[in-house]
Amino acid sequence: MTLRPHPLALATACALAHGPLRAQTAPEAPRPPVQTVTITAPAPLGEKDDLPQAQAVDAATLARRKLGSSDAAALLDGQPGVSLNGAGGVSALPAVHGLADDRLRVQVDGMDLMAACPNHMNSPLSYIDASAVGQVKVYAGITPVSVGGDSLGGTVQVESAAPLFAAQPGTWVHKGELGGAYRSNGQAWSADTNLTLATDALSLRYSGASTRSDNVRAAWAFKDPASNTGAGSTLPADEVGSSAYRAHNQALSLALRQDNHLLQLSAAYQDIPFEGYPNQRMDMTSNRSIQINARYRGQYDWGELQAQAYSQRTDHRMDMGPDRDHYGTGMPMDTAGRTLGASVQASLMTTPDELIRLGAEYQRYRLNDWWPPVGGTMGPNTFWNLNLGQRDKVDVYAEQEQRWSPQWSHQIGLRLSRVHTAAGAVQGYNDALSSLWGADAAAFNAADRDRSDLNADLTALARYRPDVQTLYEFGYARKSRAPNLYQRYAWSTQGMAALMNNFVGDGNGYIGQPDLKPEVAHTLSLSGQWQAANATDSVPADPAWSLRANAYLTRIEHYIDAQRCGFGQCGSDNLSATDGFVLLQYANQRAQLQGLDLSGQARLWDDGAGGRWGLNGVLNWVHGRNLQTHDGLYNQMPLNLRLGLSHALGGWQQTLEWQVVRAKTDVSAVRNEIRTPAYALLNWRASWQLDDSARLDLGVDNLLDRRYSQPTGGAYLGQGSSMAITGIPWCVAVPGKARSWLVGARVAF
């Protein structure tokens, strides 16, 4: 069938500038007349071969992980090559192959959302509640240039539930869901709802979610009672201070479909009135954000066109939560971030065996970070931590996929990027106090603060499938990332101010370096997949067993690590301290990471009477070193293993998971990073599908109530006089949670 441009597509293409958008696949409707969103056309080579393969989290796993947390990042926990760096209760930071935060590209509904905080409290995945997530994809190996950019590691793509439409013209569909969950540790609860009203051409959807938690408990008295100091609350020795949170998310979306064209318009609003951060020196006391998103996808006789435009407005405030010393009237710190983005991508089927992708992207980011005066030496003026911060990015890319034979295919791609950063003049609380504020501000203001970086990314990957049970992929990638605004423009060497500029949770203070160069990573990757064959399936959807292995080596030039600060107000003792928090300056160095991911599953037993039994497992290992200083890289997850025993019988499903983590002994000495002991945990999940419209979930985290510290949770700073570098004890890691009983329910109507 010949597909022709439709007026809706032409109007949308004129209105939107740019934007990559994944293929939308709606979940199967629980009952007629709802149908899935599909756009019919011959499957391009890229969709059939999916080069390289992204790891998609299946629906059953998503539902199981949603029970344990309202944090969207938690939906990635347990994926091969992925770990989580601790932050607030709904703001964890994913790490892929040892690289996290800005070194990953994290997209929510195709938007590259930006953190607007010197602690990166409002990370991209914090802007969507876990209950609203419909699909998660992780590119953990060689990432195509069409989904990468301005990042070194992989790409994480999180999508809301796809729109639903009526099956027949002239009919209406209404559908809704109510869900809720309770978690005993922290007395946490969450509630969510979604409502859909649709015809065959129009779909209107509302979703809303609220969640809250008190402070969580550890399985032991992990801190000395002397740490309960300051004017804040005195907490029990097993209570994790500043781990409470409250969050509310709402979204409204409209989808229009005609023939092979789909237009989606959405608006989302977030209000987080409080979120504690046990590994930061302050808490989030307000975060309000609005996102507007427009996406188009259409298929033509020449291929496919995707376009997107979005905006993000964030107003963020930090201050002392109830578990900290308030220093009298408190210490407010405000941030305002504004992001505009657009993109366009055309996929051209030149032959049945060749696909060309051409695309362009644009992002405009503005950031102001100011601290109102509070008296004494922190007044009478406003402290400008970052004034008129700018980060603008323009990208173009081209990508080719080609099938040489039934066994061989390849993908190559090139992305060119220009990143421009700048910052305005700053001031301290009182620049007349030269030794505290004035000298640093004057030096910063006198320096050239305008930078432009030209980056080039290159990927080349080959796939070999000798038979339907075996697949090999091997490739090379050159990836680049320009420094973020805080890495370049955090200017004060005064202890308190430097401590505020920290988005890694180690308790140290950080000072920027305007002359930082972009990071450039060179990655070699080799992966293999093996699985049992089905009699008729070319690629078995449910093999009796499967195994996947991925080995990688990444060398990074101009890696942005840290060095001890020995100038300004840092002091000579700061250069040699080994048993306390320190002040650091960002510096370009060289680093290397190497690792291995193993994952697999096997069907143990399957009959009508006893149900279906299965075994699955994931093993991750990564080792990172600074090649210049021979130091360990910060926050590297040690060797870890997950084994799961699953059972399904009728509507009942359950999984018993054993998680084992090796001791973390290879640490970053320049940061005085805290070592953590090995541990093993047992977790249990169960669900009962009552019928098509009702589901009950049960679970227990840390079933045996084991004590453990989070290897990538950072330093515990959650109470007391956290603003002073020596005000709280050093060498206390953020502990893991004690046993927590979980229950959840979901009803469709």
- At 90-137, the pLDDT tens digits run 999 999 999 999 999 999 999 999 999 999 999 999 999 999 999 999
The whole-number average pLDDT for the span 734-740 is: 98
Find out whether 98 and 593 touch, Cβ atoms under 8 Å. yes
Mind giving me the DSSP string for 586-600? EEEEEEEEEEEEEEE
The confidence score (pLDDT) of residue 327 equals 75
In this structure, is residue 2 part of a structural domain? no
Query: 330: pLDDT confidence band, cut at 50, 70 and 90?
Result: confident
The confidence score (pLDDT) of residue 376 equals 86
Q: Measure the CA angle with vertex 208, ends 194 and 186; round to 5°.
A: 120
The CATH number of the domain holding residue 149 is 2.40.170.20
- Kindly report the average pLDDT of the chain as a whole number: 91
Neighbouring residues of 147: CB distance < 8 A, sequence distance ≥ 6: 20, 105, 139, 155, 157
In this structure, is residue 263 part of a structural domain? yes
The pLDDT tens digits of the residues spanning 443-485 come to: 999 999 999 999 999 999 999 999 999 999 999 999 999 999 9
Choice among 9-23, 297-311, 327-341, 687-701 with the minimum mean pLDDT:
9-23
Measured from the Cβ of residue 669, the count of other Cβ atoms closer than 10 Å reads 12
The confidence score (pLDDT) of residue 609 equals 85
The pLDDT tens digits of the residues spanning 266-284 come to: 999 999 999 999 999 999 9
Is 70 exceeded by the pLDDT of residue 652? yes
Q: 37 or 428: whose pLDDT is higher? A: 428
- Closest alpha carbon to 73 in 87, 58, 52: 87
- Closest alpha carbon to 150 in 481, 379, 560, 463: 481
The pLDDT tens digits of the residues spanning 560-602 come to: 999 999 999 998 999 999 999 999 999 999 999 999 999 999 9
Count the domains in the chain. 1
Query: 32: pLDDT confidence band, cut at 50, 70 and 90?
Result: very low
In this structure, is residue 359 part of a structural domain? yes
The confidence score (pLDDT) of residue 232 equals 61
Query: 230: pLDDT confidence band, cut at 50, 70 and 90?
Result: low
CA distance 159 to 263: 15
- Closest alpha carbon to 218 in 679, 581, 722: 679
Three-state secondary structure string covering 29-80: CCCCCEECCCCCCCCCHHHHHCCCCCEECCHHHHHHHHHHCCEHHHHHCCCC
In this structure, is residue 1 part of a structural domain? no
The whole-number average pLDDT for the span 510-536 is: 91
Strand partners, 267: 252, 292
Is 50 exceeded by the pLDDT of residue 37? no
Maximum pairwise Cα distance, the chain: 82
In this structure, is residue 107 part of a structural domain? yes
Is 70 exceeded by the pLDDT of residue 51? no
The token duo for 350 is 């030149």
Is 60 exceeded by the pLDDT of residue 248? yes
Q: Which amino acid, 192?
A: D
Query: 16: pLDDT confidence band, cut at 50, 70 and 90?
Result: very low
Is 80 exceeded by the pLDDT of residue 53? no
The confidence score (pLDDT) of residue 608 equals 78
Phi, psi of 260 (to 5 degrees): -105, 35
Choice among 7-21, 180-194, 627-641 with the minimum mean pLDDT:
7-21
Is 70 exceeded by the pLDDT of residue 362? yes
The token duo for 58 is 């299946």
The token duo for 520 is 């450039």
The confidence score (pLDDT) of residue 375 equals 84
Residue 174 structural domain: 7-748
In this structure, is residue 494 part of a structural domain? yes
Alpha-carbon separation of residue 534 from 34, 233, 542 (angstroms): 32, 61, 8
Is 50 exceeded by the pLDDT of residue 402? yes
The confidence score (pLDDT) of residue 30 equals 35
- State what percent of residues in the chain have pLDDT above 90: 85
CA distance 396 to 345: 10
Q: 665 or 691: whose pLDDT is higher? A: 665
Query: 54: pLDDT confidence band, cut at 50, 70 and 90?
Result: confident
Q: Which amino acid, 656?
A: L
Tell me 23's DSSP state: P
Choice among 52-66, 650-664, 735-749 with the minimum mean pLDDT:
52-66
The confidence score (pLDDT) of residue 310 equals 99
